[in-house]
Structure 1
Amino acid sequence: MKYKWNYQPPTPIQREAAKALSRELGISPILCRLLQERGIKTAAEAKHFFRPQLSELHDPFLMNDMEKAVERLNRAMGRKERVMIYGDYDVDGTTAVSLVYKFLQQFYSNIDYYIPDRYEEGYGVSEKGIDYAYETGVKLIIVLDCGIKAVGEIAYAKEKGIDFIICDHHVPDDVLPPAAAILNPKRFDSTYPYEHLSGCGVGFKFMQAFAMNNGIDFHQLVPLLDLVAVSIASDIVPIMGENRVLAYHGLRQLNSNPSIGLKAIIDVCGLADREITMSDIVFKIGPRINASGRIQNGKEAVDLLIEKDFASALRQSNQINRYNEARKDLDKSMTEEANRIVDGLADLSERRSIVIFNEAWHKGVIGIVASRLTEIYYRPAVVLTRTGDMATGSARSVSGFDVYKAIEYCRDLLENFGGHTYAAGLSMKVENVPEFSRRFEEYVTGHILPEQTNATIDIDAQIDFRDITPKFFFDLKKFNPFGPDNHKPVFATFNVYDYGTSKVVGRGQEHIKLELVDNKSNNVMNGIAFGQSSQVRYIKSKQSFNICYTIEENTHKRGEVQLQIEDIKPNKMF
């Protein structure tokens, strides 16, 4: 992969501002410049950023309909009505259901939970789920991470005497469902100060409001923050503002005293003796929770996340781990097949998007395949399969491009759609697929910027090895947790040399273990370049080269810094 490096050196004014902030904070001007790029200009703002406090969470009653939602839940409990917690089958939905169910179960027993089957019912609120609720005497459904577009389904439930409280974070349509209360910070009339909560985050705010209204101490909610952190990381929502507070304290909970279910997943992932990061959630914990809904049924994930017995949780985690292994096999074979289809497209070089349809593909894995295609081809991608007489699919996007708006442009061709800027789901009649592909490409071509279709690496700062001191690394770690809007900083160092001991490693000899020096200090820096063994001949040529990298802690030697090399370029190429 040939990356273009995007680096804008700071201006003299920016350098002076960083130095001034550095004198106040006592940290490197390089790191102060990174703070300024995140909109943090003063020492007071920096202290809030480095040590976010739970007291900084917004008043949940600032959210539209929160008073209505709490009043309806109180009424249900006062009347001893049966309450159902209903949620999507992905990580955000299952963590949200688990959080609300676990919290309310402490105070109320006439409660159930429900996760729709991906294959029988599809995404969101289903009539089958409503019928089940009606048959079991449910009078109130709290729906999480979906429901904002379920106008017909919620009207159907109302006819059966069932009320809904919607807790969602997806973009709504002009017409809202006839629910008793709709909690969604993306409502067009929203009065809430922060719009980027996860679905689980909206559920947490509802429980925070319920606790405030009923005199329940906030600290009873703190043990549930591990679930919120898992949802924030897995749903790829911004990690600034209120999400940063929730993720920061959720990670602390996950590392110090995780719930029984999450502890079992941590053990199965091999993370028990490590400090867990957002990256660990994205690549290890989240995929295992997701695998349940992809391969079997998301209800099994909730069963695990609310489990109180560790031995039972471990058995369930091992089962979910087997689902994840099956998911990996499907993912690999489908991605290879998708690549062959895309590579065979006659007009690939001219297209700005990818839309592919295969009737036989596994519905539970198409979202992952769409993500793989955006990574490989740097284009928004839609992957579709057949479900009955419908084509159902998942869309993923490249950095900076709103794929939801591109799908909305084609809405007259669709039966259903929903999602975010970077990920969306959709369904249409099979005969509409060709016209959808044409119209989607039309929108993308008209709106995508040239730089959004190139493989680029944004460099945050150019530094020398002498800058990477123990204190620099200690202060850099304060930027955690990392994620969208607070990405892990990428540094570049120019004119580095092999110390003479770099070598190719890995089962397939595909990685390089590096020992590097530059001409500014005597520091020998350890690094690892995954999948870049093709560069080793140049590295061994004794010529200088440029690297860009993130700074990590060596997992095998605690306290030792290791560079994770993102890209290597000969000097003449930068």
Structure 2
Amino acid sequence: MLHSKTKWQSPAADPVQSGELVRRLSVSPLVASLLVARGMNDPEKAHSFIEGAMEEDHDPFLLKGMKEAVPRIQKAIEEEEHILVYGDYDADGVSSTSLMIHLLRHLGASFDIYIPHRSNEGYGLHNHALDWALQQGVSLVITVDTGISACSQIAYANDLGMDVIVTDHHEPPDVLPSAYALINPKLPGCPYPFKGLAGVGVAYKLAQALLDGQVPEEWLEIAAIGTVADLMPLLDENRAIVRRGLASMRRSKYPGIRALLEVSAVRVERVDAVNVAFGLAPRINASGRLDHAGRAVSLLTTEDPAEAERLAEELDLLNKERQMVVDRIVSEAIARLEDRLKDGKLPSIIVLAGEGWNVGVVGIVASKVLERYYRPVIILDINPETGNCKGSARSIPGLDIYAALSSCADMMDHFGGHPAAAGMSLHRDKLDEFAAALEEFASSVLTEEDFVPVFTADGEYTLPDLSLRAAEELELLAPFGMANPLPKFIVRGAVVKETRTMGQGNRHLKLVLQQEGVMVEAVAFGKGELAELLPPGTGVDVLAELSINEWNGSRKAQLMLQDLAVPQPQLFDFRGARDAAGRLGRLLDVLLPQTTGRQELAAAVIRKDRLHERELPEWQGTSFWVYDQYKGISPLDDLPGEGIAGKQISLLYLLDMPESLQQLDALLQAFPDVQNIALLHSLREERDRLLIPTRDHFKTLYKWLAAIAAEPLSEQEALLRLTRQSRMSLRMLKMMLDVFEELGFIRRERGQVSFVTRPAARDLASSSRYTHLSELAEMERYFSEGSTAELQEWMEARRLGVS
């Protein structure tokens, strides 16, 4: 049994409404149900969504502050004032800055740009940058994707004689800066009908206002990048920006965008929002995280193909470096946390700090640690010289991280954010107190249910539903992103037909699934470790996205697995494997939840003569049971009351096979609810195995004994002679002699054996030792030679027999 990483939910679309859409729009039932589930239950509304008619292009002058900003900028251009574009270092800020460069070039303006360095300066408008601007002769500052909270800095700019126009999309504070003009759809009293614009979206509206709506179509490519990268809702005007931007990008004239697509291994003519989110955006963001965002701005604004190719390669290398830095910090953070967990339980909120944890990537690290443990996470970089810490927080739906930080605001120098993510700074001397205060707050808010991630899919379907035609039709709903996510489907009861790994280090998993006569390939990135747990014939439930795989001119439907589960108990066949303790660790990581005390859910059964192995560090926390000659199986450690301990176990290791059927039955009875059994016992060499005894075996042995043991003979000598004549193992022969002794066919006295010439007639079946040998040989055959399916079926039959 393999548990899913998340709890799946799926709304059921109204079949009547779906049927109406199928009839009126001539779409598949799948697409119709998706439209209904996303609120497009009216045929006219659904048709408008598909055709893009709902994507409005609102009047830019509806934005509060636009009427003041436009004439001020026009005046600056006419009078040849020097303008400063002040941006931000993330992908939205880079896109906003780049769009303003294209605009001001188009208008023939004199301008400079300034983007603060993430690590050295941090977010927002800075007075020293304004001092520099004054030296450059700047008289007008236009901020993009920043500035709405910069009250003191804008007041300083005013004192220096510079006007400031703020274009931003972040939540405005209660007290607004005294700028020449504030443009933000979220401003109180702003009549603009769509509040979800990205920073680059606001900059694009400024361009529309200045150019009387005659904005070059290719500028939408840059607006689309920032909108997708900043996770803005792809509805209303954003849907139009991204849809048109992607269409332009497929024939892009920008050398920088074409070069960036190439290093991202994205075919220009097929670029979509997903490619932007996972290909372009990380490389643009890498510039601001590890270097300076100006490099990314240069890429999006250059007209030189050679420079574009060089810059794109540099960003690609920075992104690879960023990935390595993130992987290193994640490993260090997890190791530090796991070390703490040896003596306690997982905290309600995880707070970790370390020197050399690049502040530009701590947010990504926090996200990855959250994904592993599903707890709110704060990761901080410690400056070893000053002791100052800068960090990022990521949270789960059950905890408002901004509220949590507000509860201990006096411990921090600065903090800010929203319910899901935040940033903060404090001194390392406050870290322990900070973590304790957050833990107290979080533990009072969070419940066990909050620690189970919930994933909402678009519905439950079968593999025949997820056809190539269905995958092609999904494009009707594109572009996909925030508020219009790529559809995800639940498929239950599919059967694995093929399993293999792929990619460097076998990191990725590829399956062929079958259901109702239809076979579909499925790929799961980063899940290669599951391959040995999903042999052919395994029944699985999957949560997946539907895509199209194109190869050598062939197109077919393909599932991209997001999560999967095996709903029935499993038997993992690692018979004869070396490094049993290593297998334990890997199975624990995959099968059991990432919570404290997870090893308490695992038990190992072993022979008494091997108990010294349990002292190895890898086995710490695992309960041990031993085979017992009289009880069948006994707990080695002090465990809770009778019958309770075994029921708590979800993963059982057989480090040795049972020595009798009684031991096997006792084992199955002790662990009635075990979800998974892993076979890690060694295999007997063939010369030492038992054969299922037949009458012919005993007839042959009887004749040999009659020939060699008419007179008393050393049993050792007798066995030596018998092994020369027989292919049976010495162990088998000894047990057959036990049967003959019980039946009175031989005598054993003082190490000697003699043949009884006229024994009483006895049936083999009357011998308890014959029955024992037969049962033991059958059991060993299953445990040594039987297929996994045969052994599992046989053990299940035994379990039902003893339950």
Q: TM-score, normalization: structure 1?
A: 0.91
1:383 is aligned to: 379
Map of 1:55-454 to 2, 5 A cutoff? Answer: 56-212=56-212, 217-218=214-215, 220=216, 222-272=217-267, 275-346=270-341, 349=345, 351-386=347-382, 388=386, 390-398=388-396, 402-447=400-445, 451-454=449-452
Task: Tell me how far apart the structure 2 counterparts of residues 198 and 447 of structure 1 sit (CA, whole Å).
Answer: 32
Q: Which runs of 5+ in 2 are unaligned?
A: 570-674, 676-803
Q: Is the 8 A contact 1:64 1:183 kept in 2?
A: yes
1:441 CA drift (Å): 4.0
Q: Is the 8 A contact 1:54 1:246 kept in 2?
A: no
2:465 is aligned to: 467
The answer to whether the aligner puts 1:559 opposite 2:561 as a matched pair is no
Task: Tell me how far apart the structure 1 counterparts of residues 544 and 28 of structure 2 sit (CA, whole Å).
Answer: 18
Three-state SS of the structure 2 residue aligned to 1:358 is strand
Q: Which string of whole-angstrom CA distances, capped at 9 and with x for unpartnered residues, describes residues 203-261 of structure 1?
A: 1122122222xxx524x2x2111112211222122222222221111211222215221
Q: Is the 8 A contact 2:221 2:246 kept in 1?
A: yes
Three-state SS of the structure 2 residue aligned to 1:317 is helix
The answer to whether the aligner puts 1:6 opposite 2:8 as a matched pair is yes
Three-state SS of the structure 2 residue aligned to 1:123 is coil
Three-state SS of the structure 2 residue aligned to 1:106 is helix
Q: Which runs of 5+ in 1 are unaligned?
A: none
Q: Which string of whole-angstrom CA distances, capped at 9 and with x for unpartnered residues, describes residues 24-65 of structure 1?
A: 111123322222222222122222322325971222222221
2:504 is aligned to: 507
**Identical aligned pairs, as a percentage?**
32
Task: Tell me how far apart the structure 2 counterparts of residues 47 and 298 of structure 1 sit (CA, whole Å).
Answer: 41
Deviates more, 1:384-393 or 1:227-236: 384-393
1:429 CA drift (Å): 4.5
Runs of 4+ in structure 1 off by over 6 angstroms are none
Shift of the 225–419 alpha-carbon distance from structure 1 to 2, 3 Å rule, reads farther
Shift of the 400–86 alpha-carbon distance from structure 1 to 2, 3 Å rule, reads farther
Three-state SS of the structure 2 residue aligned to 1:147 is coil
2:514 is aligned to: 517
Q: Is the 8 A contact 2:376 2:396 kept in 1?
A: yes
Count of matched residue pairs:
564
Q: Is the 8 A contact 1:87 1:146 kept in 2?
A: yes
Shift of the 441–18 alpha-carbon distance from structure 1 to 2, 3 Å rule, reads farther
Task: Tell me how far apart the structure 1 counterparts of residues 94 and 182 of structure 2 sit (CA, whole Å).
Answer: 19
1:413 CA drift (Å): 4.4
Three-state SS of the structure 2 residue aligned to 1:75 is helix
Q: Which string of whole-angstrom CA distances, capped at 9 and with x for unpartnered residues, describes residues 503-533 of structure 1?
A: 33333334332222212xx322122233334
Q: Is the 8 A contact 2:85 2:113 kept in 1?
A: yes
1:6 CA drift (Å): 1.9
Shift of the 348–326 alpha-carbon distance from structure 1 to 2, 3 Å rule, reads farther
Shift of the 532–313 alpha-carbon distance from structure 1 to 2, 3 Å rule, reads closer
1:49 is aligned to: 49
Three-state SS of the structure 1 residue aligned to 2:360 is helix
Q: Is the 8 A contact 2:221 2:249 kept in 1?
A: yes
Q: Is the 8 A contact 2:261 2:268 kept in 1?
A: no
Shift of the 449–149 alpha-carbon distance from structure 1 to 2, 3 Å rule, reads farther
1:338 CA drift (Å): 1.3
Shift of the 211–535 alpha-carbon distance from structure 1 to 2, 3 Å rule, reads same
Report the RMSD for the aligned CA atoms in angstroms.
Answer: 2.6
Q: Which string of whole-angstrom CA distances, capped at 9 and with x for unpartnered residues, describes residues 281-318 of structure 1?
A: 22221121112212221111111211011111111222
* Relative contact order, higher structure (CA 8 A, sep 6+): 1
Shift of the 426–182 alpha-carbon distance from structure 1 to 2, 3 Å rule, reads farther
Task: Tell me how far apart the structure 2 counterparts of residues 330 and 502 of structure 1 sit (CA, whole Å).
Answer: 32
Task: Tell me how far apart the structure 2 counterparts of residues 447 and 138 of structure 1 sit (CA, whole Å).
Answer: 50
Amino acid at match of 2:559: L
Q: Is the 8 A contact 2:92 2:145 kept in 1?
A: yes
Amino acid at match of 1:127: N
1:432 CA drift (Å): 4.4
Shift of the 35–314 alpha-carbon distance from structure 1 to 2, 3 Å rule, reads same
Shift of the 320–420 alpha-carbon distance from structure 1 to 2, 3 Å rule, reads same
Deviates more, 1:54-63 or 1:412-421: 412-421
1:162 CA drift (Å): 1.0
Shift of the 290–250 alpha-carbon distance from structure 1 to 2, 3 Å rule, reads same
Q: Which string of whole-angstrom CA distances, capped at 9 and with x for unpartnered residues, describes residues 438-486 of structure 1?
A: 4444554455575553234333211122223333222212222222221
1:67 CA drift (Å): 1.2
Larger radius of gyration: 2
1:139 CA drift (Å): 0.7
1:528 is aligned to: 523
Task: Tell me how far apart the structure 2 counterparts of residues 341 and 189 of structure 1 sit (CA, whole Å).
Answer: 49
Three-state SS of the structure 2 residue aligned to 1:483 is coil
Task: Tell me how far apart the structure 2 counterparts of residues 376 and 3 of structure 1 sit (CA, whole Å).
Answer: 9
Identify the match of residue 455 of structure 1 among 447, 453, 456: 453
1:477 is aligned to: 475
Shift of the 353–187 alpha-carbon distance from structure 1 to 2, 3 Å rule, reads farther
Shift of the 184–406 alpha-carbon distance from structure 1 to 2, 3 Å rule, reads farther
Q: Is the 8 A contact 1:171 1:419 kept in 2?
A: no
Task: Tell me how far apart the structure 2 counterparts of residues 249 and 100 of structure 1 sit (CA, whole Å).
Answer: 19
Shift of the 381–571 alpha-carbon distance from structure 1 to 2, 3 Å rule, reads closer
2:537 is aligned to: 542
Three-state SS of the structure 2 residue aligned to 1:559 is strand
Q: Is the 8 A contact 2:496 2:540 kept in 1?
A: no
Three-state SS of the structure 2 residue aligned to 1:203 is helix
1:171 CA drift (Å): 1.9
Q: Which string of whole-angstrom CA distances, capped at 9 and with x for unpartnered residues, describes residues 163-195 of structure 1?
A: 111111222221111111112223344432222
Q: Is the 8 A contact 1:87 1:93 kept in 2?
A: yes
Task: Tell me how far apart the structure 2 counterparts of residues 158 and 165 of structure 1 sit (CA, whole Å).
Answer: 11
Task: Tell me how far apart the structure 2 counterparts of residues 54 and 474 of structure 1 sit (CA, whole Å).
Answer: 22
Amino acid at match of 1:151: C
Amino acid at match of 2:489: F
Deviates more, 1:436-445 or 1:186-195: 436-445
Deviates more, 1:287-296 or 1:564-573: 564-573
Three-state SS of the structure 1 residue aligned to 2:108 is coil
Q: Is the 8 A contact 1:5 1:459 kept in 2?
A: no
Task: Tell me how far apart the structure 2 counterparts of residues 51 and 444 of structure 1 sit (CA, whole Å).
Answer: 46
Q: Is the 8 A contact 1:494 1:571 kept in 2?
A: no
Shift of the 438–152 alpha-carbon distance from structure 1 to 2, 3 Å rule, reads farther
Task: Tell me how far apart the structure 1 counterparts of residues 315 and 171 of structure 2 sit (CA, whole Å).
Answer: 31
Q: TM-score, normalization: structure 2?
A: 0.66
Q: Is the 8 A contact 1:498 1:517 kept in 2?
A: yes
Q: Is the 8 A contact 1:418 1:424 kept in 2?
A: yes
Shift of the 273–167 alpha-carbon distance from structure 1 to 2, 3 Å rule, reads closer
1:85 CA drift (Å): 0.6
Shift of the 109–187 alpha-carbon distance from structure 1 to 2, 3 Å rule, reads closer
